[in-house]
Structure 1
Amino acid sequence: MLRHCTELYRSTQPCLPLPEGTLAQVVAQVVTPQGPGAARGSALLCPGASRPCLPPRLVQRAGPTLNGTDGLRALHLNVSRDLAHDLLFSFSPDQGPMTISSVEEGTAGKIRLPREIFQSLSSQAARVVVTVLDIQQLGMFKEDNQVGQVLDDTVVGIVVEDMDISGLQDPVRLTFAHRQLLRNVTPLCVFWDPNQGQAGGWNTTGCVTVPGDKQTDCSCNHLTFFTLLLNPALNRFTAQTVVAVASTSCGVAVAFSIFTIAFYIFLRCNYQQFRSEESLRTNLGLHMNLVSSLLLLNLAFLLNSGVSSRALPGLCSALGGLTHYCLLCCFTWTALEGCHLYLLFVKVLGTYIHHYLAKLCLVGWGFPALVVAVAGAIGSYGAYNIWTMDHQTVVHLCWINSKHVLVHYITICGYFGLVFLFNTVIFGVVAWKNCHLWSTGMVQGHCKAWRVALAVVGLFCLLGVTWALTFLSYGSSSVLMLYLSAILNSLQGLFIFIWLVVLYYPKMEETTSSLSHITKNDRTMAVSQG
């Protein structure tokens, strides 16, 4: 521990490397003076009382800036809960944190602490510790199999003593200043999570990254130790291979999406039950809308990748909006598949919903159009390039431009995250209900294991589980996840085609899958209970 370092303020000898672990306690020990000078860093105490007095000023330095320890610089402040403005700091790798009155231009990084933190204090004042650490000298924050590089080996820690600050409505904002980043790196705002892996690691939960030419802005809803991680781009061979695999898979997906729609038309035209039975028409109609959205998405991607490099700015914006719209339609229809599954297996519909499929179409095709219209109105679409490590453009697309990266995080990452969470819960509930019905003997007959397995795979495709692989394309497994994501997402049309042909083609008296049989059984139970 830090007991190896005595007289921190007077010593010029470097400390031993700080241990990993409870980092807030380590920082608290570093910034709290020991020995005769302890009063300099102590809270202001009222005579005869144990609680801090309200400092004469709303923000008062509780001790000198700590620069005596190699690799660590800290600022310790007492802050009143009556503070009426945000707290501003500047920092750089060569100088410790300093309070500033305004966000001044310059090469130093900036920190903005929202006053929301202090207005909820139970006491009159709180101690704030802002630290700037050189992790190369201190030997801290070492992540196993780390891919990215920490900007300038600098980590910024922000701690309010004796308080766990999280879930902020007004986030803490950090600006990391840097030179023009190379084309082969992508900045990412991260914080140190001691529960990540076995020895801790970098996490992005609650943080939003807004990259710029000479600075990157980070907005996080909690206080901890932050840094800017520079992730390398793919090498040229891997990038070209992923693009080739994705393009080929998209071509296959387009073909099988067309086959699926043709198969649906064949069933409607040749089998009376698919025209007369309401549940079959609704189920197949819902699946066809999802397949249609996948078809449009794959066509938009192929068109985008083939035309974008030669497209004029106006056409590029239109292509970006079209691709964004098709992707949002896919997400929305997977969510509607989950809602429909919930109504069939959990809610058990006992009443007829007038124009049910038409209402689903209004949401499935209309909501994404509204989102894209708003994003287009603020100029979110334009050229988007993916670079390799040798500074070559491997992919040129028309997509959401880098100036509106928040649109990407909100409408893509955030929206799909909610859809995926909802559909995962629905899948778990349906699986439990299915097992319960079979175990209690409410479902008669025997269903082959391969048909059950195929039904599960089909549900995974319908509920969009393969899209979740994209969220795993980070760290040491990023290349593998990119390959799997490119293949499985673009082949959803093939999976759904096989699923529908095997489960819906009426070769035997069993006209539908075991899932539809359970649906009928549920409806019979609901009627008998009514």
Structure 2
Amino acid sequence: LAGPALRNRLAGLKVLLLNISRAVTRDVLITFSPTEGPRMPNMTEKGKAGKIQLPREMFQSLSSRTVRVVVTVLNIQQLHMFKEVNQTGRVLDNTVVGITVGETSISGLRDPVQLTFAHGQLPPGVTRQCVFWDLSKGTAGGWSISGCVTQPGDKGTVCSCNHLTFFTLLLNPVLDRSTAQALMAVATAGCGVAMAFSIFTIAFCILLRCRFRLEETLRINLGLHVNLGGSLLFLNLAFLLNSGLCNGTQPWTCKVLGGLTHYCLLCCFTWTALEGFHFYLLFVKVLGTYIHHYLAKLCLVGWGFPALIVVVAGAIGSYGEYRIQTVDHQVIARLCWITSKHLLVHYITNCGYFGLIFLFNMAVFGVVTQKSCCLQATGAVQGDCKAWKVALVAAGLFCLLGATWALMFLTYGTSSAPVLYIFTILNSLQG
């Protein structure tokens, strides 16, 4: 290379050289930025630059009195370096920081080197990961996390590593295109199967209510199960309609589909809460509990309260096309749902609402389990109760109370993809 091309490449390489004494009494602090490169700290800086903290113990263990420290900040887009084969994540600001001390390789540090990569608000759907360039990976090297710990923050991410080499902050998408397509295929198949079983369950419960003379408590139980099954049936149907019609629909159609899907999801959550409330009345307040038109009032809450939430959310324009994107803003999936501009509505009406229901239902589940164990211990329960039968009943009750939806709180971070598969399979087959 010569002339402008060479100058353009060299512009992506910025170097700081330091001579550090072995008798240094403080950690060595260096700041860096993608545009200005590495430099000594300036008192006027207000946290916009990244930081490097080299522990003093690292220098005190060296044999020579002074040692040369080389800090490089590289723009890998300009230098055409550090390209990993089949890389899905994106390097923050295309910036890689290299640190060398002396002429020897340094690793196994008890006090780690800390690099703070400054950044603003990151796009949704990405996970941060501190990595270094490992020459032993593949034919030309690749990114590795060995020896590095990631500490995410609002305005920056701290990387603590026990060795010196080339570091960066990798922004990995929670979902790539292949994973998103696989999850959609699993969810579609699961919803189809769940709809068939929901229809069978609803028909069976209605048949029992109509053909046999049952006690009022049993009739109410069956009525509750019919409504919960109906909410699951409508939710699966709404999801299938949404995934099939979201592409190329009119804006108002997408808003209706988004509101319908949200309504069905809230109905499902509400009926799991009403199942928990009913179990509370049956097992805790056993005596003296009579509510006039009990099932009708439950239906008013189960189907009416979600409608009120959806009307309010629709009035402020919460529904529309929601795009699932990579860190490079490539669209990998579209749904008619709550738009990205109104994610607070999602956090309040879905995550917050279900969080309260989950806490209540788990408290009910604990009380019911404790009372069942007490009855078992006192011999009040007749018949053979094998352990596997008890476990099966507990698992069924666990699902009936909607506990599988709690997996959505674990779909953040580096392990989100496996959890997403489990979440999708369990909840699409809930019916």
Same fold judged by TM-score > 0.5? yes
Cα distance in 2 between the residues matched to 1:317 and 1:378: 12
What is the DSSP-based 3-state SS (H/G/I as helix, E as strand, rest coil) of the residue aligned with 1:302? helix
**Mapping for residues 159-308 of structure 1, pairs under 5 Å:** 177=120, 186=125, 202=151, 230-273=171-214, 277-308=215-246
CA–CA distance in structure 2, aligned partners of residues 485 and 263 of structure 1 = 27
Q: 1:188 to 1:238 in 2, by over 3 A?
A: closer
- Separation in 1, partners of 2:30, 2:403: 48
Task: Please show how residues 69-468 of structure 1 align to structure 2 within 5 Å.
Answer: 69-71=29-31, 134=50, 137-138=52-53, 177=120, 186=125, 202=151, 230-273=171-214, 277-387=215-325, 393-468=331-406
Q: Check conservation: 1:234, 1:389, Cα contact below 8 A.
A: no
CA–CA distance in structure 2, aligned partners of residues 254 and 244 of structure 1: 15
| Residue equivalent to 1:165 | none
Aligned length: 328
1:467, 1:178 → 2: CA distance?
28
TM-score scaled by length of structure 2: 0.66
| CA shift for structure 1 position 96 | 7.4
Cα pair 2:261 2:337 within 8 Å, conserved? yes
- AA aligned to 2:125 is T
Q: Residue 398 of structure 1 aligns to which amino acid in structure 2?
A: C
Whole-angstrom CA distance in 2 between matches of 1:408 and 1:325: 12
Q: After TM superposition, give the deviation of residue 393 of structure 1 in Å.
A: 3.5
State the 1:344 CA deviation. Answer: 1.2
* Distance in 1 separating the partners of 2:308 and 2:242: 21
For 1:445, give the aligned amino acid. Answer: G
Contact 1:381 1:401 in 2 (8 A): yes
**Matches for 1:484-499 after TM superposition, within 5 Å:** 484-493=422-431
Letter in 2 for 1:261: I
Alpha carbons 2:90, 2:170 under 8 Å: kept: yes
Q: What percentage of residue pairs aligned between the two structures are identical?
A: 60
Report the AA paired with residue 251 of structure 1. Answer: G
CA shift digits 1:120-143 (9 cap, x unpaired): xxxxxxxxxx856736x3379xxx
Distance 1:250 1:203, change over 3 A: farther
- Listed one character per residue, the Cα deviations across residues 435-482 of structure 1 (whole Å, up to 9, x for unaligned) are 011101222232344432332121111111111122222334222111
Q: Deviations over 1:160-207 (max 9, x none)?
A: xxxxxxxxxxxxxxx96479x6xxx635799xxxxxxx9976579xxx
Q: Quick one: distance in 2 between partners of 1:231 and 1:132?
A: 23
Amino acid at match of 1:134: G
Q: 1:448 to 1:403 in 2, by over 3 A?
A: same
Task: Output the CA distance in 2 between the equivalents of 1:484 and 1:456.
Answer: 19
Residue 415 of structure 2 corresponds to residue 477 of structure 1: yes
Aligned partner of residue 351 in structure 1, secondary structure: coil
User: Could you give the per-residue CA deviations for residues 250-286 of structure 1, whole angstroms, max 9, x where no partner exists?
Assistant: 000111110111111221232222xxx1110111111
1:178–1:481 Cα change, 3 Å: closer
Residue identity matched to 1:406: L
Which AA in structure 2 matches 1:344? L
Mark the CA change 1:189 to 1:332 in structure 2 (over 3 Å): closer, same or farther: farther
* Cα separation, 2, equivalents of 1:151 and 1:258: 50
RMSD after superposition: 3.9
| Distance in 1 between residues matched to 2:47 and 2:279, nearest whole Å | 51
- 2:370 and 2:148 map into 1 onto residues whose CA distance is 36
The CA distance in 2 between the partners of 1:290 and 1:252, in whole Å, is 17
More RCO (CA 8 Å, sep 6+):
2
Alignment partners' CA distance in 1, 2:309 and 2:247: 25
The Cα of 1:226 is off from its aligned counterpart by 9.1
Unaligned runs of 5+ in 1: 1-11, 17-28, 31-67, 74-92, 100-129, 141-146, 155-174, 191-197, 205-217, 494-530
Secondary structure of the equivalent of 1:138?
A: strand
The letter for the 2-side match of 1:377 is A
Amino acid paired to 1:368: P
State the one-letter code of the partner of 1:376. Answer: G
Map of 2:111 onto structure 1: none
In structure 1, what is the Cα distance between the partners aligned to 2:240 and 2:21?
A: 58
Is contact 1:233-1:387 (8 Å) kept?
no
Q: Which amino acid aligns with 2:225?
A: H
Letter paired with 1:308: C
Instruction: Check whether the contact 1:298–1:490 (CA below 8 A) recurs between aligned residues.
Output: yes
Q: Is the Cα contact below 8 Å between 1:96 and 1:132 reproduced in 2?
A: no
**Per the alignment, in what secondary structure is the counterpart of residue 483 of structure 1?**
helix
The DSSP-based 3-state class of the residue aligned with 1:310 is coil
Q: Distance in 2 between matches of 1:15 and 1:286?
A: 76
Q: Deviations over 1:471-495 (max 9, x none)?
A: 22233422211111111101111xx
Asked if the contact 1:14–1:70 (Cα under 8 Å) also holds between the matched residues in 2, the reply is no
What are the ranges of 5 or more consecutive residues in structure 2 without an aligned counterpart? 1-17, 56-87, 97-117, 130-146, 160-168
CA distance in 1 between partners of 2:388 and 2:324 (Å): 41
Partner Cα separation in structure 2 for residue 14 and residue 367 of structure 1: 68
- Code of the aligned partner of 2:50: D
4+ runs deviating over 4 angstroms: 12-16, 93-99, 130-133, 147-154, 175-179, 187-190, 198-204, 224-231, 388-392
